[in-house]
Amino acid sequence: MIAINFETGKRAGDSVDLISNPEPSLEQSGIVVPQTAPSDQPLLDAYSQAVVQAAESVSPSVVKIEARKDDPKGSNGRQGGGSGSGFIISPDGLVLTNSHVVHGADRLGVILNDGRQPDANLLGEDPETDLAVLRIYAPNLSPAKLGESKNIRVGQLAIAIGNPYGFECTVTAGVVSALGRSFRSRSGRLMDNIIQTDAALNPGNSGGPLVNSRGEVIGVNTAMILPAQGICFAIAIDTAKYVAGWLIKDGKIRRSYIGVGGQDVKLHRRLVRYHHLPVESGLLVVSVEPSSPAADAGLREGDIIVQFNTRAIASVDDLHKELTEQTIGVKSLLTILRHTEKLELAIVPEESRPRTE
């Protein structure tokens, strides 16, 4: 009687060649074996580490600013005001923040990261760029490292640190969404070279630093669009360094003005061709301040400004860009259209006077 092994198909006593007759693999059988997906853990760890290191590096430099306003006529004598953020930029106590955080405050309070509350004074502010510099008096301060906004790239990591709604030293992270945005300040002047980011900002973040993965400040957080999600803005640090330097030196940014109110208008094509104008729009004068440079130059309501010296003026923002410190007291040439005539008026811009509220 022959015993048959039904699992191997061999008769009892037959030797089984396991080497020459291996079991077929799953691949040989036509079965697709899913490959193990590479883990994202190393990337997540690197991202987390970058955010943690940047936050730990900059957080000691971030301060909470409390602006107090006395209102004896209303609110039953109670104090008004608000709060924002700022960051230390020098070991001797210079603090950079937004102008709208401290503007009009009767008293300023600063709370450091370690809980100290030193005295603080406003050195200067510039509402046109929404920047201000404070001086605090305290030892052992940790200034933030300032980077260069010209080296920023869209898509790079952006970390915002501040005190939203009074929650001290809050960190949010995102990316640089866009560069070269323009944003209108509260004074109405257009601010250029604004950084757009999706790092979450909330009321109280204003004036805080926007930093890169190396812990370098690349911007000053300034605004967000309330109905939108993830559209926030920061003033480029290169602009902030320039403005801060003048605020520390003079307490203000000197600009010129000519004393007109205007609005942008399109020019008729016939006028553009006839006068060989370099632009197809101009600045319509809707008001002229008495005893201003514009009034002294003979500018009238209804005139259209199309050129300042050799620069074409297509909008009020173009004129703002020309009215700098360099033109204060300097005789300039204003090209206008009066009805259908092209005229040139000599004008001497004066130093801009501070706004009163």
Active site residues: 100, 130, 206
Which of 294, 288, 308, 292 lies closest to 353, judged by CA? 292
**CA 340 centroid distance within chain:** 42
Question: Phi and psi dihedrals of 256, rounded to 5?
Answer: -100, 165
Give the strand pairing for 216-224 and 145-146: parallel
Q: Which two tokens stand for residue 227?
A: 């109905």
Q: Which two tokens stand for residue 148?
A: 């260069």
Give the strand pairing for 216-224 and 232-236: antiparallel
| Distances from the Cα of 348 to the Cα of 33, 83, 282, angstroms | 82, 41, 20
Which of 206, 209, 148, 154 lies closest to 176, judged by CA? 154
